[in-house]
Amino acid sequence: MSHCESVGSSVLTTSLESWQRHFDVNARAAWLLIRAVAGRLPVLEAPAPPVARIVALTSDHTANNLPYAASKGALDRIVIASAVELADRGVRANVVNPGPIDTGWMTDDIRATGVAATPAGRLGTGRDTADLVRFLFSDAGSWVNAQLLHSSGGFHTS
């Protein structure tokens, strides 16, 4: 899952409508999708290899983007709870925080700030994220479960 609503606002400037829209898109939609898919999976008689995998993309952005941050935090908890609650259906579920990935939305100033704040010395790429997701969906990644993984070159938002 790689969907999101992101409209910057703070504790004092976030409207109720914006708060609700962020939670509808970033948390509620994921929960409804997981519930719909998992409801079709049978309970397994014994532990078995995974039959379904969930990977959601999240963020640790907080200040000046409150509804986005709060709703992504809810997404994290929904996915991690799914790993535990749906284990008897063969579900493995993880959350990936890819850090700053320039997919065309960044200004030159944002790019420079992101690079300076990343010990790896560069911004992430879509391929960096895709490689981790591919691993999590592979047999080699089947032991990784109920994790919030930071694949961010060391970047952390303060």
Write the secondary structure of the chain as one string of H (helix), E (strand) and C (coil): CCCCCCCCCCCCCCCHHHHHHHHHHHHHHHHHHHHHHHCCCCCCCCCCCCCEEEEEECCCCCCCCHHHHHHHHHHHHHHHHHHHHCHHHCEEEEEEECCCECCCCCCHHHHHHHHHCCCCCCCECHHHHHHHHHHHHCHHHCCCCCEEEECCCCCCCC
Q: CA torsion sign, 15 to 19 to 25 to 29?
A: negative
Q: Which of 14, 27, 58, 68 is catalytic?
A: 68
Q: Which two tokens stand for residue 121?
A: 């010395």
10 among known catalytic residues: no
Catalytic residue set: 68
